[in-house]
Amino acid sequence: MFTNELAKEVGVNASVIRYYTRIGLLDPERDPGNGYRDYAPKDIERVRFIRKAKWLGFTLRDVQTILQRSDAGRSPCQQVRGIILERIRENQQRLLHLQSIQDRMEAAIAAWDSLEDSPPGRHVCGLIDSLECDEEKLDLYAGYKF
């Protein structure tokens, strides 16, 4: 089956199929007559697996590792559990960080009720400048990635 046919079958754009092929997640045969990629029925299941894994939060790099292990005849399930447990820990940290930001935002908006919007003198924004903040905490959150 051609790229567009596979894409339609699994509900993705053809560019997704081409990308998955380019990075090695799919490895179709080539039609000897015209050189077109010829995807097999197994590729339908493979793309569906990739989509489910992405839905669970796996990166394409994770998926590639999982598929390579499976293609080599080894079960990736223990590795999958490990990756998910790590993602859960990462998400918990992100949620704690986001809750901390949310709490600071709510405290700021409450504190700003009595302040004017115009910047006083040399300040960029008096609202932000009015907040008390520990310098160490500023450094702690400066490089945080979401």
Please state the pTM of the whole predicted model. Answer: 0.72
How far apart are alpha carbons 143 and 134 in whole angstroms? 16
Per-residue pLDDT reduced to its tens digit, 24-53: 999 999 988 888 899 999 999 999 999 999
The model's pLDDT over 65-86, given as tens digits with 9 standing for 90+, comes to 999 999 999 999 999 999 999 9
Tell me the per-residue pLDDT of 119-139, one tens digit each, with 9 for 90 and over: 666 665 656 666 677 666 655
Which pLDDT score is estimated for 55?
A: 95
CATH code for the part of the protein at 3-74: 1.10.1660.10
Residues 131, 129: Cα–Cα separation, whole Å: 5
Nearest Cα to 54, choosing from 12, 89, 99, 18? 12
Torsions phi, psi for 37 (to 5 deg): -70, 140
Domain ranges of the chain: 3-74, 79-142
Beta-carbon contacts of 13 under 8 Å, excluding residues fewer than 6 positions away, are 7
Separation between Cα atoms, residue 137 and residue 133, nearest integer Å: 7
